[in-house]
């Protein structure tokens, strides 16, 4: 550290210069995060000092976390769902697998997950010493329930399905998978980190929520399509007993036991997440999601008029195409199979899409 501190002027000119090195959202087409909603930013700033790791000191903020769980549980067809606010999909997935392992009590437990699963499952399996069994996908990049069933054996503690895959925006056949899990009495976790805030607002979305009796837990991320400040994930759980299998004693805090992974936890981003839900309501989110889907359609149509074909028609707002050179300053991403990938987040608005198409047209011709 410096012997003598900076003046605040010096400090902030340094910090803001660093921020200036960051890329501009106006050209970021590769991210599942977006510019936070103005009410999320305002709420976040109002709750800066709150710590949900010691909720007895912040009962008001803690009740906002309860409200967040209740709102999202209701959205996913289980108003009585329990759960808590995580740092994002990664923590939700780690904790879901940890629950499944605790409940099953197998000696050499394995989990069955699709090839399309987010890399957080690799971390989870490493940390929890779980054998990861990967199921290959069908030609629409979905995990087939029969193929999943073949990988399940007596040591399987968890089956995972994805509702909105990170790379291709596909929804696995969650109803079929839930049926398999129910029949075999296996914990079934649905990773809806991205799709959870999209599918409920679409007209003909495939089933993926707690209305399917086999679904045990769901990961859903307000800091992606929920437009909240980072970090805001949510893990929702059907059975309180399952969640409580994660309990450890927490001496010297205002609560005696806790099931969260982090200790000190931000209340600010929870307030941010609640703020967007309350402010937009179902109507507002329908509009936001409809806008993203409309922009994705325009993007796809535009690309196809240049002969750049879609890789697949996605279930949520993640567009993929045959590879093509993309000029700067556009930031796109590439799937493991080499497709061009564009996430049609709210900041990728109609204007951005038109500018991008114009640039691609000039470069591609």
Ligand X SMILES: *Cc1c(COP(=O)(O)O)cnc(C)c1O
Helix (H) or strand (E) holding 90: helix 89-104
Binders of ligand X in range 5-34 (CB under 6 A): 32
Can you say how many angstroms the Cα of residue 256 is from the centroid of all Cα atoms in its chain? 30
Q: Which two tokens stand for residue 268?
A: 């600010």
Q: Which of 169, 168, 164, 156 lies closest to 190, judged by CA?
A: 164
Binding footprint of ligand X, residue count (CB under 6 A):
14
Residue of 44, 101, 118, 310 that binds ligand X (CB under 6 A): 118
Q: What are the DSSP E strand ranges found in 66-152?
A: 82-86, 110-114, 131-135
Q: Strand, coil or helix: what is 50?
A: coil
Binding window for ligand X (CB under 6 A); candidates: 5-13, 17-25, 50-58, 190-198: 190-198
Residue 191 engages ligand X in binding (rule: CB under 6 A): yes
Residue 190 engages ligand X in binding (rule: CB under 6 A): no
Q: Which two tokens stand for residue 56?
A: 């007895």
What are the start-end ranges of the H helices in 21-88?
A: 38-46, 59-75
Nearest to ligand X of 344, 357 (CB atom) = 344
Residue 235 engages ligand X in binding (rule: CB under 6 A): no
Residue 55 engages ligand X in binding (rule: CB under 6 A): no
Nearest to ligand X of 88, 200 (CB atom) = 88
Binding window for ligand X (CB under 6 A); candidates: 7-15, 37-45, 146-154, 186-194: 186-194
d(CA 193, CA 166) in angstroms, rounded, equals 9
CB of 230 to ligand X, least distance (A): 8
> Per-residue contact track with ligand X, 130 to 169, x per CB under 6 A?
--------------------------------x---x---
Beta bridge partners of 133: 112
Query: Helix crossing, 120-128 with 89-104: angle to 10°?
Result: 40
Nearest to ligand X of 54, 221 (CB atom) = 221
CB 359 within 8 A of CB 342: no
Residue 177 engages ligand X in binding (rule: CB under 6 A): no
Would you tell me which residues interact with ligand X (CB under 6 A)?
32, 88-90, 93, 118, 120, 162, 166, 191, 193-194, 221, 233
């Amino acid at each position: 550290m410096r012997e003598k501190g900076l003046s605040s002027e010096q400090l902030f000119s340094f910090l803001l210069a660093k921020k200036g090195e960051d890329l501009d959202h106006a050209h970021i087409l590769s991210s599942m995060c977006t510019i936070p909603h103005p009410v999320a930013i305002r709420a976040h700033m109002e709750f800066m000092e709150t710590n949900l790791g010691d909720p007895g000191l912040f009962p008001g903020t803690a009740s906002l976390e309860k409200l967040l769980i209740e709102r999202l549980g209701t959205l996913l067809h289980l108003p009585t769902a329990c759960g808590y606010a995580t740092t994002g999909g990664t923590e939700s997935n780690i904790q879901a697998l940890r629950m499944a392992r605790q409940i099953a009590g197998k000696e050499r437990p394995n989990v069955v997950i699709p090839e399309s699963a987010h890399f957080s499952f690799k971390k989870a399996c490493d940390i929890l010493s779980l054998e990861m069994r990967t199921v290959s996908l069908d030609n629409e990049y979905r995990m087939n329930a029969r193929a999943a069933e073949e990988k399940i054996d007596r040591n399987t503690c968890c089956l995972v399905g994805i509702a909105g895959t990170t790379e291709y925006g596909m929804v696995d056949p969650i109803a079929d998978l839930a049926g398999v899990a129910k029949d075999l009495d296996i914990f079934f976790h649905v990773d809806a980190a991205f799709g959870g805030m999209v599918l409920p607002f679409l007209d003909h979305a495939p089933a993926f929520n707690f209305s399917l009796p086999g679904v045990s837990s769901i990961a859903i991320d307000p800091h992606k399509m929920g437009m909240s400040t980072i970090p805001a994930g949510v893990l929702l759980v059907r059975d309180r007993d399952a969640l409580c299998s994660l309990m450890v004693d927490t001496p010297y805090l205002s609560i005696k036991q806790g099931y969260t992974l982090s200790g000190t936890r931000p209340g600010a981003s929870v307030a941010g997440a609640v703020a967007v839900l309350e402010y937009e309501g179902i109507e507002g989110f329908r509009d936001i999601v409809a806008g993203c889907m409309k922009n994705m359609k325009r993007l796809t149509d535009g690309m196809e008029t240049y002969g750049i074909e879609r890789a697949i028609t996605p279930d949520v707002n993640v567009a993929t195409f045959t590879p093509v050179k993309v000029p700067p300053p556009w930031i796109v991403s590439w799937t493991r199979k080499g497709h061009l990938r564009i996430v049609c987040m709210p900041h990728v608005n109609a204007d951005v899409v038109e500018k991008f198409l114009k640039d691609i047209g000039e470069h591609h011709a």
